[in-house]
Amino acid sequence: MKTYTLTIIVNETTGELVSLEETIDVDETPIAINASELVMESIQNAGLVAELLMCHPGECVGEA
């Protein structure tokens, strides 16, 4: 999900625009595989870990 924030600062006396700032925050859901130990072991033994994560290049993957 992306959150866009636009901050506008105006001088109330002159009506002049002092600053205009846009920020974009990206909230990403961590990648997780919820499975039993047996299933995870089977995935690893079958060499499918890379296949499962191939669509997420550059992500940091660890063991919980």
DSSP 12: T
- For residue 19, is it left (φ>0), alpha (ψ between -120 and 50) or beta? beta
Contact 8, 20 (CB under 8 A): yes
Locate the domains of the chain by residue range: 2-53
Task: Record the pTM.
Answer: 0.39
Question: How high is the pLDDT of residue 10?
Answer: 93
The pLDDT tens digits for 5-36 are 999 999 999 999 999 999 988 776 666 677 78
Question: How high is the pLDDT of residue 52?
Answer: 74
26 vs 5: CA distance, rounded Å: 12
49 vs 56: CA distance, rounded Å: 12
Q: Tokens for 52?
A: 């499962």
Question: How high is the pLDDT of residue 9?
Answer: 93
